[in-house]
Amino acid sequence: MITIEEFGRRLRARQTTSAEVTDECLQRVEAENPRLNAFIRVTADEARQQAREADREIAAGHDRGPLHGVPISVKDLLDIRGLPTTAASRVREGHVAARDAATIAHLRQAGAVFVGKTNLHEFAFGTTNEDSAFGPARNPYDPSRSPGGSSGGSAASVAAGMALATIGTDTGGSIRIPAAVCGLVGLKPSLGEVSIDGVVPLSRTMDHVGPLAQTVADACFVHHALLGDARAVLPAPMPLHGLRLAIPRRYFCDVLDPEVRARFDEAIERLRASGVHVDEIQIQHADQIASVYLHIVLSDAAAYHASTLDAMPERYTPNVRIRLEMGRYVLAEDYVRALAGREVLRREVDAALAQHDALVLPTLPIPAPPIGASTVQVGSATEPVRNVMLRLTQLFDVTGHPAIAIPAGQTTAGLPCGLQLVGCRMQTDALLRVALACEPQITLGFPRSGNVGG
């Protein structure tokens, strides 16, 4: 599928229209959604109407910027006025959003076309998209495998060409994990940078809203539109020569599938050959990341769900219900310890970045796991899928640093692998400049996602 950048060029050269590209996406939805279950709701009529309106505005000289007329999908965790926000749960039966989430209002202002709302792991509380009231979403590269989660339907929708970009949320890795296994770019911005108003929460202290797209440039356009900056121009890439990256090798490279490790090492070598200086650093308390994350996310989620867990427990999928119940047993003293650990980890990531432009590490230790697998083989070890999926991403939700996942090649079976770059807090634009510079070396030689299965 065409990128947002290319679409914009062709649109303004009168070589295509929003109506035409929106129709292409909707045809892909018809062809692929029965197989992938990426969408919970398709808004074809509204999308065609919005596309025609965008074409009329552009013809009249009213150009809203890079997202004008761009067909996008939205994770069904964000409110779009007049539509249900299901969170992929029966708990929310009967809900209809009275108004747009703040980010959706910004996208509407930017002229985006909404093709539909995408499937997710129920209440965003999982990394595989298997537990959804609407059934699992599937990976376009191999429908027997997970598209990642929780924004799995979102990722599948872009990888299969059903939208040019999508909006996801990330509390432990839910943008970057699906991006990695579906061969996409996924941006988790800095904590607090993008509004979470009108988003069903998982953890209000760690939730982030961000884009999944085919390229870093596209992710940049969508990120700025989410901020309300619809006319943003692409920042200049940082010069590659002299760029300083750091690999936090201990813990983050300890548990890796051999092919994921090989693709990561190859990307690092290409970056080095391009003049990038790559150091190694340590996050001293990395072994505490999972326990800090768990105590915070469980407590936050349990507080939000307590009344519905009591009133309508049967409406949750069994796995999500039981994990939410676990959060009701966390003691206040341990939650406070986790908050202390969060501050320590934040300072350690800050310190690691003090002498570097970005951290670089794999996004996910494994390729897409088979749907239904509870454990996965990583090298010679058998690991729980959930622990492995969150291992490399959750730290930056805890600390709030911006992180971007970039496709970094494929396994011999053709499954995508990902690499992530992590920048300084509240400096997402600086991270995007690093990502724009590194992207050609990271993705080198592998086809872009966006038309998988077609």
Which residues are part of the catalytic machinery?
Answer: 75, 150, 174
CB burial of 288-323 (b: ≥16 within 10 Å; e: otherwise) equals: bbbebbbbbbbbbbbebbeebbeeeeebbbebbbeb
CA distance 39 to 162: 10
CB of residue 368 to another protein, shortest distance in Å: 24
The label of the residue with tokens 């279950």 reads 37
CB of residue 200 to another protein, shortest distance in Å: 23
Give percent helix, percent strand, percent coil of the chain, each to the nearest 5.
45, 15, 40
The answer to whether residue 287 forms part of the interface with another protein (CB under 8 A) is yes
Task: Find the Cα–Cα–Cα–Cα dihedral 89, 92, 95, 101, rounded to 10°.
Answer: -70
The answer to whether residue 322 forms part of the interface with another protein (CB under 8 A) is yes
Stretch that binds another protein, among 109-117, 240-248, 340-348, 358-366 (CB under 8 A): 340-348
The answer to whether residue 200 forms part of the interface with another protein (CB under 8 A) is no
Which CB atom, from 96 or from 322, has the smaller least distance to another protein? 322
The answer to whether residue 285 forms part of the interface with another protein (CB under 8 A) is yes
- By CB under 8 A, name the one of 8, 173, 178, 341 that touches another protein: 341
CB of residue 173 to another protein, shortest distance in Å: 17
Which CB atom, from 40 or from 91, has the smaller least distance to another protein? 91
The answer to whether residue 250 forms part of the interface with another protein (CB under 8 A) is no
- By CB under 8 A, name the one of 271, 294, 368, 422 that touches another protein: 294
Stretch that binds another protein, among 141-149, 168-176, 183-191, 331-339 (CB under 8 A): 331-339
The total number of residues shown for the chain amounts to 454
The answer to whether residue 298 forms part of the interface with another protein (CB under 8 A) is yes
CB of residue 294 to another protein, shortest distance in Å: 5
Question: Do the Cβ atoms of 229 and 372 come closer than 8 Å?
Answer: no
CB of residue 437 to another protein, shortest distance in Å: 36
Q: Which helix (H) or strand (E) holds 54?
A: helix 44-59
Q: Which of 4, 50, 9, 10 is nearest to 26 (CA)?
A: 50
Q: What's at 274, amino acid-wise?
A: S
The answer to whether residue 81 forms part of the interface with another protein (CB under 8 A) is no
Which CB atom, from 100 or from 348, has the smaller least distance to another protein? 348
The answer to whether residue 329 forms part of the interface with another protein (CB under 8 A) is yes
Stretch that binds another protein, among 67-75, 119-127, 154-162, 289-297 (CB under 8 A): 289-297
Q: The tokens of 321 are what? A: 């219900």
- DSSP state for residue 447 in the 8-state scheme: P
The answer to whether residue 315 forms part of the interface with another protein (CB under 8 A) is no
The answer to whether residue 350 forms part of the interface with another protein (CB under 8 A) is no
The answer to whether residue 320 forms part of the interface with another protein (CB under 8 A) is no
CA distance 185 to 439: 10
The answer to whether residue 337 forms part of the interface with another protein (CB under 8 A) is yes
Total residues binding another protein (CB under 8 A): 23
Q: Are strands 375-378 and 381-384 parallel, antiparallel or unpaired?
A: antiparallel
CA distance 90 to 96: 13
Question: Do the Cβ atoms of 147 and 153 come closer than 8 Å?
Answer: yes
CB of residue 303 to another protein, shortest distance in Å: 16
The answer to whether residue 277 forms part of the interface with another protein (CB under 8 A) is no
CB burial of 40-64 (b: ≥16 within 10 Å; e: otherwise) equals: bbbbeebbbebbbebbebbeeeebb
Which chain residues interact with another protein by CB under 8 A?
285, 287-288, 290-292, 294-295, 298, 318, 322-323, 325-326, 329-331, 334, 337-338, 340-341, 344
